A and B are shown apart, each in its own frame.
Chain A
Amino acid sequence: MTTTKSKVVYSPVFTDGAEFRIPTFKLLKQDGSLYKSAKAPDLDKEKALRIYRAMITTRILDERMLAAQRQGRLSFYMQCTGEEAAVIGSAAALDDDDMIMAQYREQGALAYRGFTIDEFMNQLFGNEMDYGKGRQMPVHYGSKKLNYMTISSPLATQIPQATGYAYGQKLAGDGHCTITYFGEGAASEGDFHAALNMAAVHRVPVIFLCRNNGYAISTPAAEQFAADGVAPRAYGYKMDVIRVDGNDILAMYQATQEARKLAVEHNRPVLIEAMSYRLAAHSSSDDPSGYRSKDEEAVWREKDPILRMRLWLESKNWWSESDEKQLQETMRREVLETMKRAQKRPPPALETLVTDVYDEVPPMLEEQFKNLKAHIRKHPDAYPKSAEHAKGGA
């Protein structure tokens, strides 16, 4: 049996889909005013400022932590810079109980949900208060309380998991959905295609948010796919799709709000392609000067999503120069003070090496741990981080 209902032709007709051009949704101009026929979404002052504060928090955190990495205080860091509107605008359109399954550049969503600077720092420094117990590299955040699934490094693995998580939400009937974030590079992975297909077939309340930021490490989007972006792929799966100016906070907010309605009220999965630009390097280990020009970056610096939102806030008299100054100063101070505190906290206990591998520590790991402790007691100077912890026990 075939599921195709297409008409029949009697000479070979090829098509490459080029006739389908997906429009880009925008509301806000760079000067903070709305496009002529655009109407701002229903976004009150309180929420707008919550969004803006999260954007500033993320930007300052990025600047400070990259500097800390350069000073050798931190092993690694990844910035969200340039993509704050795509991430925070979408996260703000969700219910706080919706699940977020992110890639690794979405600290903005976490900041919006209320992750404290202290919580960020504990993870970045992998100290004893890190929820991940110092096991993962910096920026692999997670928060059970804030419905933010702990990050996994391998690309795209969270996308089919989001489909599964959201299917569970549908069965539970609690009116919630899952959003999953990924870059346009990750959308090449097999996991992406599997996730969209399953979501469409099983009518899963999941929002796939592709941050098309132009580069997968050094590889430009043009070497990543031949098509008009990632959005057209949704057609192949018969899924709702929208392309949005990812630097436009209002458009991102409204598009995600409506996507959430489709997902939760109609069980229609949605793909959102946020068109943006990774202003920073891929990570603190990367140097973009090897593969792209300063001029290209400058063009995008002009489209700064934070400045655009600030001008909009000012046009509504919700924000002023002095508010800005105060927020920047308070935030910078808080970041620095919190960093110093987090850096001083001790590393996780030695036991964390063998716990959580399974629900209980199995005998072979008990044995290995016992041997390790004895070894460290014999050579305490060689293991400064854990010599103290190894003192007790057999």
Chain B
Amino acid sequence: MTEMNMLQAINSALDTAMAENERVLCFGEDVGVFGGVFRATSNLQQKYGKARCFNTPLVEQGIIGFANGLAAQGSVPVAEIQFADYIFPAFDQIVNESAKFRYRSGNLFNVGGLTIRAPYGGGIAGGLYHSQSPEAYFAHTPGLKIVVPRNPHQAKGLLLGAIHDPNPTLFFEPKRLYRASVGDVPDEDYRLPLGEAEVIKEGTDITLLGWGAQMEVIQQAVELAEKEGISCEVIDLRTILPWDVETVANSVLKTGRLVVTHEAPLTGGFAGEIAATIQDRCFLYLESPIARVTGMDTPFPLVLEKEHLPNHLKVYEAIRASVEF
């Protein structure tokens, strides 16, 4: 065990994967000698050489198209998109190519080795183009897996899980927590399962569900609610696609209430999908409407970022409203 922040944990996961399998490659903008603008790939080029860890030209569609070909060839590419906001030039390669490679070829070919890493989310004064949470766009695409870690331990385990998963996986990293979240991380290889939510805390009155940086927000809201005697069950979804319906439904069958929170805008956000599925599975057990606490239906602002974000107070109010319904 070593105490690490989330960037160090991600670096440790990449180092572990590259040491074990020489077919694992890391590339993207500035990931080479500089180690990426956030330094997640620090020292990897020095350790594994320029053929396995390198700078690409500045072209996201090229990075992912290249990664798709590389993965189809049998390599294990871990491609970095510098900010999740800049993943959209690669949207065609991800949505039409990565996601459909196996299906369209009748499983003759696949790009299962592919992992795409991208920092996502707000809270860093990044404005419109350094703050977005694009998970819902990709969740609409069968064939992909989407993973979001909440702390260093989860980041390493889930990233190694993603790298070893035989499906193309998007790994969205909460950049607000890159340095802020610190914890003990095993030095060796360990893999956390994709597709499984984690019940972080058990409770009886209400279920709170989120992912990534919102888990910290939920934690703060729960502290406020529990002071008032409300018993909260807290679940980290961890994998957005395919998501763990069983764990969430079982929790709501017990508590009868659900609050889902994410940073992305409300309309078309993934909380809507969860709410629809859970009301279908738990309708007769619900004590109040499923609540969504999300970003607003606007682009991500700069100066009024705090107002826009679904913070702990908004989650707390939603808990209160649900319990008092």
Query: Which residues on A are within 8 Å of B, measured CB to CB?
Result: 75-76, 126, 134-137, 140, 152-155, 185-186, 188-191, 216-219, 223-225, 285-286, 290-291, 347-348, 350, 352-354, 357, 364-365, 368-369, 372, 375-376, 378-379, 382-383, 385-386
A188 near B62 with CB under 8 A, answer: yes
Chain A residues in 8 Å Cβ range of B267: 364
* Also in contact, A134 and B302, with CB within 8 A (given A153-B129, A217-B30): yes
Query: Quick one: which of B61, B128, B307 contacts A190, CB cutoff 8 A?
Result: B61
List which B168-224 residues lie within 8 A (CB) of chain A. Answer: none
Quick check: is B89 within 8 A (CB to CB) of the other chain?
yes
Q: Which residues of A contact B306 (CB under 8 A)?
A: 382-383, 385
Q: A352-B304, A354-B298, A375-B313 are in contact. List 6 more A-B contacts (CB 8 A).
A: A154-B89, A190-B61, A223-B32, A285-B37, A347-B303, A376-B307
Q: How distant is the Cα of A216 from the Cα of B57 in the complex, in angstroms?
A: 9
Assuming the contacts A348-B304, A376-B307, asked whether A353 and B298 have C-beta atoms less than 8 A apart, the reply is: yes
Contact of A219 among B32, B60, B61, B266 (CB under 8 A): B32
Q: Which residues of B sit under 8 angstroms from A354, Cβ to Cβ?
A: 296, 298
Asked if residues A219 and B297 are in contact (CB atoms below 8 Å), the reply is no
- Describe A's contact surface by its main secondary structure: loop
Which partner residue on chain B sits nearest A225 by CB separation? B57
B126 contacts partner chain A, Cβ-Cβ < 8 Å: yes
Binary contact track B36-56/A, C-beta < 8 Å → 1, others 0: 010000000000000000110
What are 25 pairs between A and B in contact, CB < 8 Å? A126-B302, A135-B128, A135-B303, A136-B128, A137-B128, A137-B129, A137-B302, A140-B127, A154-B129, A185-B58, A186-B58, A188-B57, A188-B59, A191-B89, A217-B29, A218-B32, A219-B34, A223-B32, A286-B37, A350-B304, A364-B297, A375-B314, A379-B313, A383-B306, A383-B307
Contact B55 A219 (CB under 8 A): yes
Tell me which residues across on chain B come within 8 A of A357, comparing CB atoms: 297-299
Q: A75 vs B131: C-alpha distance in the bound complex, in angstroms? A: 14
Name the CB-closest residue of B to A288: B34
CB–CB A75/B30 < 8 A: no
CB contacts (< 8 Å) of B150 on chain A: these are none
Q: Verify A372–B34 contact, CB threshold 8 A.
A: no
Instruction: Contacts A153-B128, A153-B129, A353-B301 given; indicate if A368 touches B296 (C-beta within 8 A).
Output: yes
Interface residues of B (CB under 8 A from A): 29-30, 32-35, 37, 54-55, 57-62, 85-86, 88-89, 125-130, 266-267, 296-299, 301-304, 306-308, 311, 313-314, 317
Taken together as a complex, chains A and B put the C-alpha atoms of A368 and B307 apart, in Å, by 11
Task: Assess whether A223 is in contact with B303, with CB atoms less than 8 Å apart.
Answer: no
B128 touches A219 (CB 8 A): no
Cβ contacts under 8 Å, A348 to chain B = 303-304
CA distance A239 to B34 in the complex (A): 36
Please, which residues of chain A bring their CB within 8 A of the CB of B60? 189
> A185 — which chain B residues lie within 8 A by C-beta?
57-58
Compute how far the CA of A19 lies from the CA of B317 in the bound complex, rounded to whole angstroms: 70
Chain A residues whose CB sits within 8 angstroms of the CB of B298 once the complex forms: 353-354, 357, 365
| A135-B299, A218-B34, A219-B29 known; A353+B129 contact, CB < 8 A | no
Our pick among A136, A140, A190 for the contact of B89 (Cβ within 8 Å) is A190
Q: With A135-B127, A137-B127, A154-B86 as given contacts, are A219 and B30 in contact (CB-CB < 8 Å)?
A: yes
Given A75-B125, A153-B130: A216 in contact with B296 (beta carbons within 8 A): no
Query: How distant is B13 from chain A, measured CB to nearest CB, in Å?
Result: 22
Distance to closest chain B CB from A291 (angstroms)? 5
A residues near B303, Cβ cutoff 8 Å: 126, 134-135, 347-348, 385
Q: How far is the CA of A348 from the CA of B303 in the complex (A)?
A: 8
Residues from chain A with a CB closer than 8 A to the CB of B54 are: 223
B304/A291 in contact, CB under 8 A: no
Residues on B with beta carbons closer than 8 Å to the beta carbon of A216: 29-30, 58
C-alpha gap A286/B36 in the complex (Å): 11
Min CB gap A151→B, angstroms = 10
A134 CB contacts on chain B under 8 angstroms: 301-304
Given the known interface contacts A135-B299, A190-B61, A357-B298, the answer about A386 and B307 at a Cβ–Cβ threshold of 8 Å is yes
List 4 A-B pairs, minimum CB-CB distance, nearest first.
A134-B303, A153-B129, A218-B34, A188-B57
Contact B85 A219 (CB under 8 A): no
